[in-house]
Homo-oligomer: A and B are copies of this chain.
């Protein structure tokens, strides 16, 4: 349906775990398209609290918010070895002016990213801890599935603290919630690997406020 964004003449990059693609506050560095590996997008609130806005997977376009602002307001950081394409700011701006198909596809990509951000807002604004964790697991496994992997198992690439930061709860709450889902046979957790035993049960968690 929506064409996948492709950037002619993008530079190919490889980065190691912990490397930063762009630092929050930096002037628009252009767009990155993640090819392999995963990234986190981290913002810092005025009081210094860190928040992980998103975990990024292959195919994701990064840096979209800086196009209009002219400044990145989150740090992009590799969580493992990654490869990506990079299109400089000047290149993106030029394509946007000269290549109308690119502009249209970029608009679709942005609309998609915006829609996802809205769904995360809804999660942060209305859900209990258990609902947040269930929603997170379902999202994660769905994105994983969309990349061609199993629909009932994921290897978490992030720590409990990182999940907590993303969901607006503490690492301990994430741990306890996963443990509870395990006991209830909704999932099977062993460290970082999770099997969704009962997808319907997780969906049911979303339907109730306790």
Which residues of A are at the interface with B, using a C-beta cutoff of 8 A? 1-2, 43, 45-47, 49-51, 53, 64-70, 73-74, 96-100, 103-104, 106-115, 117-127, 131, 165-168, 203, 206-209
Contact = CB atoms under 8 A, between A and B. Distances in A.
Contacts of A127: 45, 47, 49
Contact of A111 (B65, B98, B208): B65
Contact of A118 (B65, B110, B111, B122): B65
A50 B121 CA distance: 12
Mostly, the A contact residues are helix
A106 B122 CA distance: 24
B119 A73 contact: yes
A107 B111 CA distance: 9
24 contacts: A43-B118, A43-B122, A45-B122, A45-B123, A45-B131, A46-B203, A47-B131, A47-B209, A49-B126, A49-B209, A51-B125, A53-B122, A67-B107, A67-B108, A68-B111, A69-B115, A73-B118, A97-B104, A117-B121, A121-B121, A125-B165, A125-B166, A125-B167, A125-B168
Nearest to A123: B45
A65 B111 CA distance: 5
